[in-house]
Amino acid sequence: MTLTARRAPFFRRGRRIRRSPVLRRLVRETRLDPAMLVLPIFIDARLDAPAPIASLRGHMRWPVAAAVDIARQAAAAGIGGLLLFGLPETKDEQGLGAADPLGPVPLALRAIRADVPELALIADVCLCEYTSHGHCGQLLPDGTIDNDATLPVLAEAACVYAAAGADVIAPSDMMDGRVAAIRHGLDGAGHHETAILSYAAKYASAFYGPFRDAADCAPQFGDRSGYQLDRANGREALLELDADAAEGADMLMVKPAGPYLDVIAAARARSALPIAAYQVSGEFASLVAASERGWLDLRSAGLESLIGIARAGADVIITYFALDAAAWLSEDPR
């Protein structure tokens, strides 16, 4: 009797269902779908034509007049939605331009909503792109964040974006109490149906560099460690998730995604709300840079990074790979 025959009852041949592409697809546990992907876009009120973003290959700053063009591309690719960031013509100390009804995000929202109704439109709410100092809220005289003074501006901006056609408001500022303030403001203005996707667990990360270039929002002094999460803390993130859910968030986000897969998994286990994860600019740019040097295959690595985020528990993935991934998946969903 052969060794294989003697051992046959006692070991599992897992290779049986891995031996061909059709079998692997049949039993796949986690599946990517373009409809779960959200593309971040940057609307720049100072531009007359799209301008490439050097640190985000393939991405542009879009003038308001061309916002519909990228929206049409996204809809044609079958991705789920857009996350809009605005770059205003001018900035001030208070970031009041965030709530300007004629600002870049409200104007783009109106244009896209009228032309591309099939996309979910998500409006980021933060002051960093609109303040001259680059911080995410208004400041006290000593240069620290004035949390409570910032909340009414965030709520006002949320109402402006909802009125312009946003389906979802996504506060990324990390001010305490912002979800409750925004929910109260939206409801008071009659926007009861507008959802809130809270950046509930947003870490003070080294992976935001290309975004700050794209959105022109690097802080002019200090950093954001006083209001974004310490990268060493996981349990604290759960407290933030709980707090935002209790204040009325409809969806919860973890940002960045790749370095915090454990937090995504913990969020999924803890909450029945939809969980979003933001694969941030530095994650995208790192993979692109490595591929340009021939160190990895961008298609394979990009899809692997996304499947890892989905496997950790994300229902929605915000990623600069959204258009690429949709094309890759349509060609061959390996």
Of the candidates 59, 178, 202, 268, the residue annotated as catalytic is 202
Of the candidates 59, 91, 178, 255, the residue annotated as catalytic is 255
* CA separation for the pair 41, 39 (Å, rounded): 6
Say whether 91 is catalytic: no
Say whether 202 is catalytic: yes
How many CA atoms are closer than 13 Å to the CA of 161, on its beta-carbon side?
32
Catalytically active residues are 202, 255
